[in-house]
Amino acid sequence: MSQIKVTVFRRVDPSVIFDGEVPNMPGTDKPFVKCTAFEDGQEFIVENGRKPDGFCEWAWYDIKKDISILQFGGNFWKNWMKPGEMLTCCTDGVRPVSFKLERLED
């Protein structure tokens, strides 16, 4: 089973999603902000299919299927990504995060 490098590709600012008029988080007077669980460019290594320490649970379950495919030698569309790579994201519709996955060859 290969190791997978997960790089935080981009965190989306909620102002993009809401066309500049970001609502407040429910029950607060504070507007939604970019995901604070990650920083752009942050890297994690997935070993033996285990969630890296500090990785957001929600995002992990969203991207784990793509990680599993790469770990076991699978690839995605040839015209879309290089073999051993994938772009994927968490499904937080207000402040999504995109990740680049790369299989690390032994």
Domain residue limits, the chain: 3-104
- Residue holding tokens 């499904």? 91
Residue 5, pLDDT > 80, answer yes
In Å, how far from its chain's centre is CA 60? 8
State the pairing for strand pair 85-89/3-11. unpaired
Q: Please write the tens of the pLDDT for every residue from 37-92.
A: 999 999 999 999 999 999 999 999 999 999 999 999 999 877 678 999 999 999 99
More confident residue, 1 or 47: 47
**What gap in Å lies between CA 70 and CA 73, rounded to an integer?**
5
- pLDDT class for 106, splitting at 50, 70, 90? low
